[in-house]
Amino acid sequence: MTTQFKLHNIVKRYGSRKVLDIDQLDLREGRIYTIMGPNGSGKSTLLRIMSLLLVNDEGELEVLSEKVNWEKEQLLYLRRQMSMVTQTAFMFQGSVDYNVAYGLKARKMRSRMIRERVNEMLEMVGMSAYREADARTLSGGERQKVALARAMAVNPGVLFLDEPTSNIDMASAAEIEKHIRTINQEQGTSIILVTHNLFQARRLADEVIFIHEGRIIERGSAGSIFDDPKDKRTLAFLHGEAVIQ
Amino acid sequence: MNIFVEGIKEGVNLIWQMDPEIIQITLLSLQVSLTALVISAVIGIPTGAALALKKIPGKRIFLNIIYTLMGLPPVLAGLLVYLLLTYRGPLGQFELLFTPSAMVFAQVLLAAPIVCGLTARAVMALNQDVYDTAATLGASRRQASATIMREARIGIVAALTTAFGRVIAEVGAVMLVGGNIRWSTRVLTTSIVLETRMGNFSTAIAIGIILLTLSFIINLLILKLEKRTLRYDNTIQIT
């Protein structure tokens, strides 16, 4: 399995505040990684840097075997092999169809192929009946499904998920989880998931990365992190979250 | 009250009779204001978008200047254009003073800051999610920028309608640089001033009604165009 992401001494600051300080992080293809940690620990910042939406202040970033130079052409090439679903599942003004077709149109695919792919994706998430619906009138769960279909339509090698089920009910969350697993297992898409949900992380993750105050303090298989955390901060977080959940 | 009733009657009559002078004045008003609006849109929309999206040194000061120019007094705009186009002015050689072109020039000075400033605000009001979503779906910078503009289009249409309202109703600048010359630079607003000065109040009101009707029709067309691009109802439901 090849390494898709290599982070070396990555630092990100907001003003004088250091929000991310990653010594070393390698992520391999085809796996499901879960990034966990308390609010403000730098999880989303890490995800935004890896998805090339945010420029790191220091350090070296290697994505899909390319050292990132943040040049326009390289960014487009790399971004077209990844996609993302966020907590808010932002929808463009327009129909569900317009939204799911967006990435395909950006790649200038033929309209017949776009139509077929949109059909396929909406069928996958069980939203075919909503094709012509206004995307902004959908419920939270429906939006997440459409966002997932939209992200998967472009057939990405890597899928970033930033708390994709935190705003939706358990039944919808379970359905999204099922799709995430299918995407990973059947299409071999690497998944990098930020979540607060311990049970979700345990159910999905091949590997858990625990972040605290911008630093990786623990990393390992879901079983080892949840059953036998080595760091007391991980233990405290897991205990606190488990009590709440 | 009688004057208003007479004015309305005369307005209907003028429109009904298709008075050639009134038609010429109306068409010139439309031509000058729509040309100014198109030029202002061509200048103002990209500039406003650039101001909102790009990191430009001195951006805040520039925006502040644009916002200030949104309230530029028409007479002052007219004076500036007059000084530029007058025989001894820097653009005097083109002999544009007291022509419809001078009137367009003055109206662009009034409308472009409105289009630019309101476009910048409409784009700045959007969430980072718009760009992030477009970029993570593989949109190039150009495609993502086009998407941002598409998302801001209600605000941009508002900018255009506001700017049109400003120029079609404007009198000070066109009077100064156009000169209100019959069959040449007389427009609806300057006609109202002339008729009022001559004591023909009902005619002035009649022309005013034509002006308002024209403005209503143009805005209706702009809103129709907006509705065609907005397939879905964006009204906030208040129950």
Q: Do B132 and A86 touch (CB under 8 A)?
A: yes
pLDDT value of position A81:
96
Q: Do A76 and B137 touch (CB under 8 A)?
A: no
Report chain A residues touching chain B, CB-CB < 8 A: 51-53, 72, 76, 79-80, 82-84, 86, 88, 90, 92-95, 102-103, 106-107, 134, 136-137, 150-151, 154, 160
Q: Do B147 and A150 touch (CB under 8 A)?
A: no
**What does CATH list as the number for A3-87+157-244?**
3.40.50.300
Provide the residue ranges of all domains of chain A, joining segments of one domain with +: 3-87+157-244
pLDDT at A243 over 60: no
Q: What is the mean pLDDT of chain B?
A: 91
State the ipTM, two decimals. 0.91
**Mean pLDDT across B190-197:** 94
Question: Of the given ranges (A32-41, A58-67, A89-98, A224-233), which has the lowest mean pLDDT?
Answer: A224-233
Contacting residues of A for B135, CB less than 8 Å apart: 52-53, 79
pLDDT value of position B196:
92
Report chain B residues touching chain A, CB-CB < 8 A: 127, 129-130, 132-141, 143, 147, 150-151, 230-232, 234
Distance from CA of B217 to the nearest CA of A (A): 27
Pairwise CA distance, residues B70 & B77, whole Å: 11
**Mean pLDDT across B49-74:** 94
pLDDT value of position B9:
83
Q: Do B132 and A53 touch (CB under 8 A)?
A: yes
**B147-179: per-residue pLDDT in tens?**
999 999 999 999 999 999 999 999 999 999 999
pLDDT at B200 over 60: yes
Contacting residues of A for B134, CB less than 8 Å apart: 102, 106
- Enter the pTM of the model: 0.86
Percent of chain A topping pLDDT 90: 71
Question: Of the given ranges (A135-144, A154-163, B10-19, B82-91), which has the lowest mean pLDDT?
Answer: B10-19
Q: Do A83 and B141 touch (CB under 8 A)?
A: no
- HEC readout, chain A: CCEEEEEEEEEEEECCEEEEEEEEEEEECCCEEEEECCCCCCHHHHHHHHCCCCCCCEEEEEECCEECCCCHHHHHHHHCCEEEECCCCCCCCCEHHHHHHHHHHHCCCCHHHHHHHHHHHHHHCCCHHHCCCEHHHCCHHHHHHHHHHHHHHCCCCEEEEECCCCCCCHHHHHHHHHHHHHHHHHHCCEEEEECCCHHHHHHHCCEEEEEECCEEEEEEEHHHHHHCCCCHHHHHHHHHHHHHC
Provide the residue ranges of all domains of chain B, joining segments of one domain with +: 2-229
Q: What is chain A's length?
A: 245
Percent of chain A topping pLDDT 70: 98
Which range, A165-169, A200-204, B101-105, is most confident? B101-105
**Mean pLDDT across A69-79:** 95
Question: Of the given ranges (A35-44, B27-36, B38-47, B225-234), which has the lowest mean pLDDT?
Answer: B225-234
Q: What is the mean pLDDT of chain A?
A: 91
Domain B2-229 has CATH 3.20.20.70: no
Q: Do B132 and A134 touch (CB under 8 A)?
A: no
Distance from CA of A225 to the nearest CA of B (A): 30
Contacting residues of B for A72, CB less than 8 Å apart: 141
Contacting residues of B for A93, CB less than 8 Å apart: 150-151, 230, 232, 234
